[in-house]
Chains A and B, each alone.
Chain A
Amino acid sequence: MPKKKKISGFSYLDKRFVARHKKAAQKLIEAHRPTIDHVLKAGQPLKQLQTESFKLLTASAISGALLLAPMNPLAKLTTPTNENVLNIEPQLNKDDIPEAKPDAIRKTLIVRQLTDALPTKVQKLNSSQREQVDRIINQRLQISASSNLDGHELNTDYGYIGYEQHLFRYPGDSIADHDEMRLAGIAPKRGAFGYFTSSRTSFSEQDKLKEKYYFAVQTFKAPGWRENVYQLKEWFKFRKVVAINTKTGDAVVGVIGDAGPAVWTGKQFGGSPEAMAALNLDKGSRKGEVLLLFVNDPNNEVALGPL
């Protein structure tokens, strides 16, 4: 009897598993190609569907610069190494990208322009870089934002952000009372600035949005903190800020709701679960490079939430 060859566990299983996976991807695309084509062409990344099989099958079916993403279609759309993107900025014509959403075009432009303006590594921006960044943000996001407001600034304006838990919004609040992303959990203690409101009865929609889109910043490292801790704490408390994912152009307006993260983490900012989702940083390592700027909004006209 010829001697049998031992089958390698992984290679055998991987091959069979991938075949089953491809079958599922093919079934989905065959049954719903028009829907998927339409959504992808509209600029929706469909990152939840991005598996190798799915990508292979859709790439062969759909043409256009938007749809040839190797990993994350949105990142592809906004990555400056994409020749198509390089060629269309800043005089990007909406017609150049068939059926692309204005939102996707705006993000592309933001990323392209920020790539030119920002240093290669995260760090506090110098005055020239700040000027450029302020101009880009003001132009593209239609809000007045800058690293320095009323003479106050943070230890940095360009850094890494990490994923934070929910915060208690009022005494007696619990994760069950939060309406979204409960799996993120809730921090064991109040934020550094206390509750967002004093009681459940006084809890308003605005308070809800403040927690939903809060950021943690290293106030304890801000210039002048030691000398003016009480004054600065009051100034930073729930101060309106905007965060921009410099790799994707996603942006969200929120408030400073907590102090942190710890220096040893290597991160400079933290974001609430919803803020991180809005920044497209709620998957994988849940960490990314962002700009975080103060919003100059004396009349409280800029709404909290994704831009």
Chain B
Amino acid sequence: MTDRYFYQHLIDLNEIHNLLNQVELEESERQKLLDTIHHTIHLEVVKFVLDELPKDQHHEFLATYDKRPTDNGIIVFLRRSITNLDHRLQHIIHQVVSDFKDTLHDYLRSSEEYLAGI
């Protein structure tokens, strides 16, 4: 999933990686979880863009994005129509990542409680 999308530079999954390192996982399991995170970010980003973009540009955006998801031109195109795009995208992504971090924290806490016999 890495470097596939125009917003890739706004994603920081270091904390997620650190949390996943504390869970006993097969590599394939770890990858599946990371893929789900990326897919979720992806859907949230697309929703945000469609929310903000004028309707007559929806088709063009989806078609371009579908064919060339890494094209730098996409973000240039979006910056013209959506004010403060990078900051707002970063905020959306941060929220999604936080949700997953919370889930990981919940799990780790439950595990600690289990190990402590609580």
Contacts and interface: CB of A to CB of B under 8 A. Distances in A.
Interface residues of B, number: 45
Interface in B37-69: 37, 39-40, 42-44, 46-47, 50-51, 55, 58-59, 62-63, 65-69
A6 interface: yes
A32 B47 contact: yes
A24 B55 contact: no
Contact of A181 (B33, B40, B50, B70): B70
A4 B96 CA distance: 30
Interface string A128-150: 00000000000000000000000
A7 B47 contact: no
Nearest to A23: B40
Contacts of A49: 42-43, 46, 66
A180 B39 CA distance: 24
Contacts of A24: 40, 43-44, 47, 96
Interface stretch (A12-20, A159-167, A191-199, A225-233): A12-20
A35 B49 CA distance: 13
Given A28-B46, A31-B47, A181 B59 contact: no
Contact of B51 (A31, A51, A183): A31
B36 A21 contact: yes
Interface stretch (A40-48, A92-100, A241-249): A40-48
Contact of B114 (A7, A14, A28): A7
Contacts of A21: 36, 39-40, 43
Contacts, number: 114
A53 B62 CA distance: 18
Interface in B18-35: 23-26, 29, 32-33
A182 B36 contact: no
B33 A17 contact: yes
Interface string B60-90: 0011011111111100000000000000000
Contact of A17 (B44, B58, B70, B103): B103
A278 to B, nearest CB: 9
A35 B114 contact: no
A10 interface: yes
B50 A32 contact: yes
A173 to B, nearest CB: 18
Contacts of A48: 42, 46, 65-66, 69
Contacts of B118: 4
B108 to A, nearest CB: 9
Interface of A: 4, 6-7, 9-10, 12-14, 16-18, 20-21, 24-25, 27-28, 31-32, 35, 38-39, 42, 44-49, 51, 54, 180-183, 277
30 contacts: A4-B113, A4-B118, A7-B110, A9-B25, A10-B29, A12-B107, A13-B33, A13-B107, A14-B29, A14-B32, A14-B36, A16-B106, A17-B100, A17-B103, A20-B36, A21-B39, A21-B40, A24-B44, A25-B43, A27-B44, A28-B43, A28-B46, A28-B47, A35-B62, A39-B58, A39-B62, A39-B63, A45-B66, A48-B66, A49-B42
Given A7-B111, A12-B107, A14-B33, 14 more contacts: A9-B23, A9-B24, A10-B25, A13-B104, A17-B33, A17-B37, A20-B96, A20-B99, A20-B103, A21-B43, A45-B66, A46-B62, A49-B46, A181-B71
